[in-house]
Structure 1
Amino acid sequence: MEMHIVRAAGLDRREGVAMHRSIWIAAASLVFAAPAAHAQALNAPVVAHPDPEALFTSPDPKLHANKQVALKIVKELLEAGHWERAPLYLTKDYIQHNPMAASGLDAVVHFFVDVRKVQPKPIPARMQTRVVAVQAEGDYVTVSFVREVKDPRDETRTYTTTWFDMWRFKDGKADEHWDPTFLPVK
């Protein structure tokens, strides 16, 4: 296809290669310049929805049911630390794509209770977690959260970004999970 463009422009092969190289250099400069532009956009914070629980509803019965289980996972397990309730919301064979925790219901509970030492606290009447959006399609629910982190260039400052958790549901329970966690740097 590139040669067709070169011929259509009336260029010989050498000129076409030079043009192609110039286009790639220009594209690469835009890509690599993007982080600098974003680094200066610390004044545009990620904003949570004022009523996050309202996002966990749908007129579609299946999507509504899945969103409601996702709400309970976030509120009861992740927010309040009641991992004894995990069998109500996660399948026994729960597939975990977070590199910090192994797959399986027992392994995920072990990670939060024994490794991270999460202590249960009262389940709040209303969710406290800052949620930006909740999307559901088919068997999947994705929850986007506000995440506040320290600015690595200035430890006295923080900025917001977006975190997500995504679950695939099977028979009314979460059966698979994704998030953007990285292994820690040693």
Structure 2
Amino acid sequence: MLYIFAKTTYNITVLLLIIQLIQIKNTKPLIQKSGEIKVFEVDWKSRTPIYEQIVEKIKELIIKEVLKENEQLPSVRALSKELSVNPNTIQKAYRELEREGFIYSIPGKGNFVAPVKAKINAKKLSNLKEELKKILQEAFFLGLSKEELMEIVDEVESKTKGGTQRD
């Protein structure tokens, strides 16, 4: 009798796993373009606010050129449904991205990836360099070697642009 119960429980567990796999397979991607799937998820356990996570993920997709110039982003409603997030949160993320110059909106049409603007990028790059200098000073003070720094730079570069390792 115990053997039959254990076998039945095992079969139910296998069926549940199969159902979950089918559900995962049938979920629609966040953004789909010519067979290419671009998906991101929200980390519900993170202390980082959800809208900031969305902002960072979209920035990452834009920086890595997964999202191209003038490409339309998902609507607020579609993205909120896909991520199970309040539409106001998505709208806040889009507003922040627009404020930072990563996207632009056309009323009645949607949100689009902004073209690269040299002046804005130069200003942002200048600010980032200053922040980087402060961080590097602290890192060197704490004992980071130049070799370790170069390894980090190579790692970040390869993740960002798919570049090759330094010689």
- Return the TM-score normalized by structure 2: 0.28
Q: Which has the higher contact order (CA 8 A, sep 6+)?
A: 1
Q: Which structure has the highest helix share of the two? A: 2
Q: Which structure has the highest strand share of the two? A: 1
- Return the TM-score normalized by structure 1: 0.26
